[in-house]
A and B are shown apart, each in its own frame.
Chain A
């Protein structure tokens, strides 16, 4: 007797159709899984056997062979438990086989037969939709996520429910796609006292999607400012929203109650993170922090403390907006078009830029610190702002402008930037003079021009004037970071 269940395996963010065939023959009891299954997948045997008994079904006596086709595709993870169990039950005639083939199935089994959610349900459900399957049997907790993909989910808490449903004995409650995610509450810019220059740079970065580096002594509010950037950004449009949801689904970081990601994601990996943790990879492979920050903000706090390979690995996504993780079996592509915000001290001891403390760093340590950041990486920052320590009376000042007010200006500027403003002749002349007088590379010139366009848009000006170029010039790399 042969039965077939259908599920999907993930290659990167891509769901590939996998047929789970179960064949039952002979009298000698045995259970084998073939078809390039990884360890978690091989261990499905024990969970499936135990789960089937707990669902008060019969474990068929005889030789059971489960084949995961196509055999050339590596199957990873525990999401195959449910389809394997259903295929085995189908082969032994305990669930109707034709009904089984009309559904996709995805989920992990507990030993007591409960169905657990597995990462990537959204991507798997999208695969099911493309394969023209109308329904997907999955864990009840991740059913709203599957519903987002345009496939009708069959939410089940237990294997017994799935069996009853396929036999036509139970009709599970329909699940509505819950699109309206609660907006995350970002901290407000009004909490930041003083720091007019850094606030201004943050606003420009938000309006133009520029990468921003804040450098200054500890305790001046660099991280505080950086964390307020997502609150200045507009919500994601529906296409971007689905794209981000897919990545977060595969990484298993979606929130069950609000699966659709509608506001720009914000990721702040710790500086001990490895290169695969940041750009993706490892076994699986899994998307990294850079991909999780796709269409949002990636904050690297204490930039020079990150391992050099991790930082250098970021250069590809900063250039192309995509990360390709190459494996022997093929290449997984993860989108990673994020806005980079980083903070750092001006020297290893942290005292530079602080009028109250003298820096105790030797010339060699200063040089080593500056060398940690390659010129190529520094070149990716459009705005570099030194944040010196404010004097006490600034901190006692009145509450500053709120995020909401700044966000309104940012949205207007983004709309204006849809048609990039023209540069006036005076602005071009100033730009040329700056290239002659300052250490400014060709790439530096175009960066200043881009930032100047954003500044003009923020000012509501249709033309980039010399004052806009002059302001953009003041956010170029300070010489302390490029030469010591």
Chain B
């Protein structure tokens, strides 16, 4: 019960739980703390408490040097979900269309193969990874940098709701804790700590995603980085990781090997001749107009073919540019 008291006390003092364990004021707070009442309050909000002392506490996270004293859980998923094979997919918030596409495809392929996709519910890469997992109907876990009852950013309230419908939203912060810049690096250590491997999709020079990668390296976990254009500011962080020895990641299969899993063999889609021709021409990211010229058919036919390929999950679009979702 003292772990729950610690989380509640830290929330009240607006500090991180790790700094408070041995203070006299915490001892005083702990003495008068009514754990049962607090647990009842949590239950009314549909939140569960998973203390470090529990057997269900994820073993990988327990192994981390400064593992959280416990996690608050929200959602229909079981705590056992946190112990399943999992991968963190993180990256820039203001990602490019390419980054968004890669994150979504990774999320979809990993979750489709049964690997839990862990990320931070932030804008950009994080959200795309969650969405990809949801699209595949596979498992995903969102780790918050604020109180378990808050949705941050607010624009992702709906995404959080959809994740909680089947899977889990977790946080080490108790009810009502406001998001603050210093809480996000602490959140990233949980993202890295929960998983066997961390994938950085796109990162600027001083991205929060690199903090996640640092935590992963410190704990001896695998770090993967997606290669990007060497001239893009969004690739500076990932390319730096690659230089330091991170494994380049080009498809979800690279990761699945780690768990001894294989991508489910997708049935070859039944495509119309026009869609087949457009897919064959799509060897780089191309605009619809470039496809019109490459395939030599009219714009209407290309538009119909692109819709067909999108519905079949073979092509994604961003900012008017189309690319394959995988090779």
| Contacts from A to B (Cβ < 8 Å) | 194-197, 199-200, 215-216, 346, 352-353, 355, 358-359, 361-363, 366-367, 385-388, 390-391, 394, 430, 433-434, 437-438, 455, 459, 467-468, 470-471, 473-475, 478-480, 483-484
A197 contacts B303, C-beta separation under 8 Å: yes
Chain A residue at minimal CB-CB distance from B287: A388
Complexed CA–CA distance, A455 and B301 (Å)? 11
B288 contacts A196, C-beta separation under 8 Å: yes
Complexed CA–CA distance, A430 and B96 (Å)? 30
A196 contacts B319, C-beta separation under 8 Å: no
Q: List 16 A-B contacts (CB under 8 A).
A: A196-B302, A346-B319, A346-B320, A361-B94, A362-B94, A363-B124, A367-B123, A367-B153, A390-B287, A470-B304, A470-B308, A471-B301, A471-B304, A475-B303, A478-B317, A484-B123
Partner of A363, one of B94, B292, B293, B300: B94
B299 contacts A433, C-beta separation under 8 Å: no
B287 contacts A470, C-beta separation under 8 Å: no
Complexed CA–CA distance, A247 and B304 (Å)? 41
- Residue B321 CB within 8 A of the other chain: yes
- Residue B155 CB within 8 A of the other chain: yes
A474 contacts B307, C-beta separation under 8 Å: yes
In the assembled complex, the CB of B273 is this many whole angstroms from the nearest CB of chain A, namely 12
Contact with A along B176-218 (1 / 0, CB 8 A): 0000000000000000000000000000000000000000000
Complexed CA–CA distance, A247 and B122 (Å)? 50
A358 contacts B234, C-beta separation under 8 Å: yes
B307 contacts A478, C-beta separation under 8 Å: no
- Residue B289 CB within 8 A of the other chain: yes
B319 contacts A197, C-beta separation under 8 Å: no
Partner of A437, one of B234, B301, B311, B321: B311
In the assembled complex, the CB of A131 is this many whole angstroms from the nearest CB of chain B, namely 54
A194 contacts B289, C-beta separation under 8 Å: yes
Complexed CA–CA distance, A195 and B320 (Å)? 12
- Residue B54 CB within 8 A of the other chain: no
- Residue B19 CB within 8 A of the other chain: no
Chain B residue at minimal CB-CB distance from A361: B94
Complexed CA–CA distance, A473 and B311 (Å)? 10
Complexed CA–CA distance, A480 and B100 (Å)? 10
Partner of B289, one of A197, A437, A455, A470: A197
List B277-327 residues whose CB lies under 8 Å from chain A: 287-290, 292-293, 298-308, 310-311, 317-321
Q: Which residues of A contact B74 (CB under 8 A)?
A: none
- Residue B23 CB within 8 A of the other chain: no
- Residue B93 CB within 8 A of the other chain: yes
> 9 closest pairs, A vs B, by CB?
A386-B320, A363-B93, A200-B299, A470-B304, A388-B320, A196-B299, A471-B304, A197-B288, A474-B303
Chain B residue at minimal CB-CB distance from A196: B299
Complexed CA–CA distance, A483 and B155 (Å)? 8
Complexed CA–CA distance, A346 and B94 (Å)? 13
Candidate in B155, B272, B287 with the most chain A CB atoms within 10 angstroms: B287
In the assembled complex, the CB of B42 is this many whole angstroms from the nearest CB of chain A, namely 31
Q: Which residues of A contact B303 (CB under 8 A)?
A: 197, 200, 470-471, 474-475
- Residue B233 CB within 8 A of the other chain: yes
Q: A200-B299, A391-B290 are in contact. Are A467 and B304 (CB under 8 A)?
A: yes
Candidate in B96, B300, B304, B306 with the most chain A CB atoms within 10 angstroms: B300
In the assembled complex, the CB of B254 is this many whole angstroms from the nearest CB of chain A, namely 26
B319 contacts A480, C-beta separation under 8 Å: yes
In the assembled complex, the CB of A450 is this many whole angstroms from the nearest CB of chain B, namely 16
Contact with A along B17-44 (1 / 0, CB 8 A): 0000000000000000000000000000
Chain B residue at minimal CB-CB distance from A467: B304
A196 contacts B298, C-beta separation under 8 Å: yes
B317 contacts A484, C-beta separation under 8 Å: no
Q: Which residues of B contact A386 (CB under 8 A)?
A: 317, 319-321
In the assembled complex, the CB of B172 is this many whole angstroms from the nearest CB of chain A, namely 24
Complexed CA–CA distance, A471 and B303 (Å)? 5
Complexed CA–CA distance, A195 and B302 (Å)? 13
Starting from the known contacts A197-B299, A438-B311, A467-B304, 5 additional A-B residue pairs (CB-CB under 8 Å) come to: A386-B317, A390-B287, A468-B304, A471-B300, A474-B303
A394 contacts B289, C-beta separation under 8 Å: yes
B321 contacts A353, C-beta separation under 8 Å: yes
Complexed CA–CA distance, A394 and B293 (Å)? 9
A200 contacts B300, C-beta separation under 8 Å: yes
Complexed CA–CA distance, A279 and B149 (Å)? 43
B289 contacts A353, C-beta separation under 8 Å: no
Contact with A along B227-263 (1 / 0, CB 8 A): 0000011100000000000000000000000000000
Complexed CA–CA distance, A386 and B234 (Å)? 22
Q: Which residues of A contact B93 (CB under 8 A)?
A: 362-363
B307 contacts A484, C-beta separation under 8 Å: no
In the assembled complex, the CB of B128 is this many whole angstroms from the nearest CB of chain A, namely 10
Q: A353-B319, A388-B287, A391-B290 are in contact. Are A199 and B299 (CB under 8 A)?
A: yes
Complexed CA–CA distance, A471 and B306 (Å)? 8
Partner of A478, one of B290, B293, B318: B318
B289 contacts A390, C-beta separation under 8 Å: yes
Q: Which residues of B contact A484 (CB under 8 A)?
A: 123, 155
Q: Which residues of A contact B310 (CB under 8 A)?
A: 438, 473-474
Complexed CA–CA distance, A7 and B122 (Å)? 67
Contact with A along B75-110 (1 / 0, CB 8 A): 000000000000000000110110000000000000
Candidate in B293, B304, B311 with the most chain A CB atoms within 10 angstroms: B304
Q: Which residues of A contact B272 (CB under 8 A)?
A: 467
Q: Which residues of B contact A200 (CB under 8 A)?
A: 298-300, 303
Chain A residue at minimal CB-CB distance from B302: A197
In the assembled complex, the CB of B145 is this many whole angstroms from the nearest CB of chain A, namely 14
Chain B residue at minimal CB-CB distance from A363: B93
Candidate in B93, B305, B318, B320 with the most chain A CB atoms within 10 angstroms: B320
Complexed CA–CA distance, A468 and B301 (Å)? 9
Chain A residue at minimal CB-CB distance from B93: A363
Q: Which residues of B contact A468 (CB under 8 A)?
A: 304
Candidate in B122, B153, B234, B290 with the most chain A CB atoms within 10 angstroms: B290
Partner of B320, one of A353, A430, A471, A483: A353
In the assembled complex, the CB of A445 is this many whole angstroms from the nearest CB of chain B, namely 14
Chain A residue at minimal CB-CB distance from B232: A358
Complexed CA–CA distance, A395 and B303 (Å)? 21
In the assembled complex, the CB of B32 is this many whole angstroms from the nearest CB of chain A, namely 41
Chain A residue at minimal CB-CB distance from B95: A363
Q: Which residues of B contact A433 (CB under 8 A)?
A: 311
Complexed CA–CA distance, A473 and B288 (Å)? 14
Complexed CA–CA distance, A360 and B302 (Å)? 31
Q: Which residues of A contact B302 (CB under 8 A)?
A: 196-197
Chain B residue at minimal CB-CB distance from A387: B320
Q: Which residues of A contact B234 (CB under 8 A)?
A: 358
List B23-72 residues whose CB lies under 8 Å from chain A: none
Q: Which residues of A contact B155 (CB under 8 A)?
A: 367, 483-484
In the assembled complex, the CB of B255 is this many whole angstroms from the nearest CB of chain A, namely 25
Complexed CA–CA distance, A267 and B234 (Å)? 41
Complexed CA–CA distance, A467 and B272 (Å)? 10
A196 contacts B292, C-beta separation under 8 Å: yes
Q: Which residues of A contact B293 (CB under 8 A)?
A: 394
